[in-house]
Amino acid sequence: MQKNSFSTIGLIGKYSDSCVEDTLTRLAGYLDNRATTVLLDEATAKVVPGLGLETVSRDELGDSCDLVIVVGGDGTLLNAVRSLAQYGVSVLGINLGHLGFLADISPDCMVQCLDEVLSGNYQEEQRCLLHATIVHDGEVITESAAFNDVVIHKWDIARMIEMETSINGVYVNTIRADGLIVSTPTGSTAYALSGGGPILYPSLEALVLVPICPHTMSNRPIVVHSSSVIEVVVAEHSQPYAQVTCDGQVNLGLTAGDQVVIQTAPQPVRLIHPAGHDHFELLRAKLHWGRRLA
């Protein structure tokens, strides 16, 4: 019997996508042959009900597992990370679509990669997670985690919003723009990159603030330490047209007088990669660096 680095493994599949069934079936059979305890996310079980695995809630996955394998794409992994980060469980992604920044294992080489990982031959990264709270009159109204970014932005109308930004209690500026992206290094290759922000190496203890289409061209991206507390207040005349979005998946409403507080969550995200994982190779592949034009 092969010795496993992880004793209890959870499985999460792409939400409402039956295309994950084949990969999950092969994965469940492989893990069973490794004599590993396998738990299935209850939402995934509703999409793929015939796997014959013990089904548990997302919280029970976090409590019981020392590794969770996410089958889908980067969006599926973002959702999983937000719900599991507080438990300190390691997360590994199998990408069903194109090469992902986060879910970087192809189903074609899944068994070979998992053989290496379960045998202890892998790389682990600890990446920061954001925590966003909306405060009204000193009281937290709503909150959410974000692995890529927290975005304060306009919606449903073609006009700019006005935002006052402070860092660690010190006023920085007031900008008029379509919005503001606060991104982790992980999210620096997502929305922040398309907004003109820099690419941050994943292990950097940093956050980047990127204005979206600012009215003044001198408003440029700012990089701050990851321990910074970022506070954003949207002007009252802009409040009806603004909202907060976390990872492009969770929307938080704003009302007049609300303050958005963004800071790094205390528990880092633990990402597992196959041995030999090269972030720059990933960037070259995703961003087509060095590719000759036809």
Return the active site residues.
74
Q: Which residue type is seen at 10?
A: G
Angle, helix 21-33 to helix 110-118, in steps of 10 degrees: 40
CB 203 within 8 A of CB 136: no
Q: How far apart are CA 41 and CA 73, in angstroms?
A: 16
Q: How far apart are CA 177 and CA 132, in angstroms?
A: 20
Look up residue 135 and give its two tokens: 């405060």
Determine the 3-state secondary structure of 211 from DSSP: strand
Q: How far apart are CA 153 and CA 279, in angstroms?
A: 30
Distance of CA 128 to the CA centre of its chain: 10
